[in-house]
Structure 1
Amino acid sequence: MNHAPQPFLPRASGPPPTYQVLKEEHEVDVLGAPPTPGPAPTVISIRSEVSVPDHVVWSLFNTVFLNIFCLGFVAFAYSVKSRDRKMVGDMIGAQSYASTAKCLNICALVFSL
């Protein structure tokens, strides 16, 4: 193996090389198939995740500590239904159940105070 130090860039000896201006013609197809067969393009679809809070922790707190008129327990039931709807993918149903659970949690908090 040769361990002699070598320069990073070789030294140019003589005149610099001459460069030619290349003329290229490109045709652009507005619509149609690609001119050369090749691999199909990869399409990645990204779903935007809609965050629907299910208020399970708040409902559990109201069930344990502020359970007046059983509103905390009912709110907890709606929170679990909201979480189930979210797991299935029904965001509209999950939002509906979560809204009901939120209202019940607010009522339980106000009545308890």
Structure 2
Amino acid sequence: MAAMNPEGYSCEAAPLYGGRYDELPAQSSAPTMVQFTTVNITTEPPQDHIIWSLCCLVYLNPFCLGLAALIYSIKARDRKVVGDLEGARHYGSTARCLNIISTVLTSIAIFLFIIIFTKLIYLLTDISRQL
């Protein structure tokens, strides 16, 4: 009996749980109240990319993509004012894609223009040296 009960602990100090065996000993059979907590997650409003669209309209406008991007940006801003955040997100995403395409096409065109212009200048200087 000494091995089961270490010194300083008596047999009566261990509580014995009686009752039903299908529930945990600490559970009571009384109904419990469940408390709900509401968490408000504030998301940032969707972007309409209107400044980028204006720049694409004025400066970078191949195939009128800047105008289409500006139209979608205005639609996104209108949807945001009305409170339709999903619609604003959709129109803003379309405006962003059009702005990206317009910027990439214009960058490629400027890059090609610089390459062709430098080649042309090099060719003209080479021809003038030969004469």
TM band (smaller chain): 0.5 to 0.7
Provide structure 2 residue ranges, at least 5 long, that are not aligned to the other structure.
Answer: 1-31, 34-39, 108-131
Which amino acid in structure 2 is aligned with residue 93 of structure 1?
G
Distance 1:64 1:111, change over 3 A: same
Match of 2:46 among 22, 28, 52: 52
Match of 2:63 among 59, 62, 69: 69
Distance 1:83 1:75, change over 3 A: same
Alpha carbon RMSD of aligned pairs, Å? 1.6
- Aligned partners of 2:57 and 2:95: how far apart in 1? 12
Provide structure 1 residue ranges, at least 5 long, that are not aligned to the other structure.
Answer: 1-29, 32-45
Moved over 3 A (4+): none
Scaled by the length of structure 2, what TM-score is found? 0.50
Q: CA shift at 1:47, angstroms? A: 7.8
Larger radius of gyration: 2
Higher helix share: 2
Relative contact order (alpha carbons < 8 A, sep ≥ 6): 1 or 2 greater?
A: 1
Match of 2:77 among 80, 83, 90: 83
Scaled by the length of structure 1, what TM-score is found? 0.57
